[in-house]
Amino acid sequence: KAGVTQTPRYLIKTRGQQVTLSCSPISGHRSVSWYQQTPGQGLQFLFEYFSETQRNKGNFPGRFSGRQFSNSRSEMNVSTLELGDSALYLCASSLDNYQETQYFGPGTRLLVL
Amino acid sequence: DAKTTQPNSMESNEEEPVHLPCNHSTISGTDYIHWYRQLPSQGPEYVIHGLTSNVNNRMASLAIAEDRKSSTLILHRATLRDAAVYYCILRDGGGAGSYQLTFGKGTKLSVIP
């Protein structure tokens, strides 16, 4: 089985722009979670989608949003980028995520200038 | 969420066993103990998890204290590929907390050839 894939792998944007990141889960997985990793804050949970519905959300501003499609692929969007949004964005998929193992992708590294 | 405490860093010689400790004194009866690790430039990967009994898999062993207030991840023979940050995570057995992983700072393991 192919693993979790994320595109693009690297991205450079400027302040004020918006960005969309994509995640394709492992085939058959219906839950997709997003995490942000920075040197200062470590790994932080953004949100989780299951069957096209956001089921759980972390403590991030409304500029961070996401969605999930019927094929379980997911996108996350960050609007009005700030310098502090520079981070590694990780996507993880699981069968259902209720105590299930999460499988992480390689991440998208976003640099905001 | 119940918190975990891990040493910031540890060193091990190659081919020696490694014992990575984790304290979780406020663990609740429904919390599962999960371990993930993150190799350099990769997303986290699942290692092992358990509730009360010790657990073994091909990657590692998990030893859980009788009172469940601490646990130890055991790598039986460290290899250079085991150099990573190891995260000890508590996942609620029910409720909203079960839908996300709450990462701490983890333990950075260095393996000396």
pLDDT in tens, A1-51: 689 999 999 999 999 999 999 999 999 999 999 999 999 999 999 999 999
Whether pLDDT at A65 is above 80 = yes
Q: CA-based angle B75:B80:B85, to the nearest 5?
A: 65
From B44, B91, B105, residue closest to A99, measured CB to CB: B91
Residues 6+ apart with CB under 8 A from B80: B14, B111, B113
Q: What is the pLDDT of residues B4-44, one digit of tens each?
A: 999 999 999 999 999 999 999 999 888 889 999 999 989 99
d(CA A4, CA A92): 7
Q: Considering chain A, what is the average pLDDT of its residues?
A: 94
- Residue A11: both structure tokens together: 């991205």
How many residues are given for chain A?
A: 113
- Segment A88-102 mean pLDDT: 84
User: Does the pLDDT at position A100 exceed 80?
Assistant: no
The mean of the pLDDT values for chain B is 91
B8 has a chain A CB within 8 A of its CB: no
Strand, coil or helix: what is A83?
A: helix
B100, B101, B107, B108, best to mutate vs chain A, most A CBs in 10 Å: B100
Among residues A102, A110, A84, the alpha carbon closest in space to that of A31 is found at A102
pLDDT for position B64: 97
Establish if B40 touches chain A: CB-CB under 8 angstroms: no
Query: Quick check: A45 and A32 in contact, CB under 8 A?
Result: no
Give the best residue of B3, B57, B88, B99 to mutate against chain A (max A CB count within 10 A). Answer: B99
Contact A55 B44 (CB under 8 A): no
Using the structure block, give the residue that is written with the tokens 């601490």: B70
Which token pair is A107?
A: 């991440």
In this prediction, residues B60-68 reach a mean pLDDT of 96
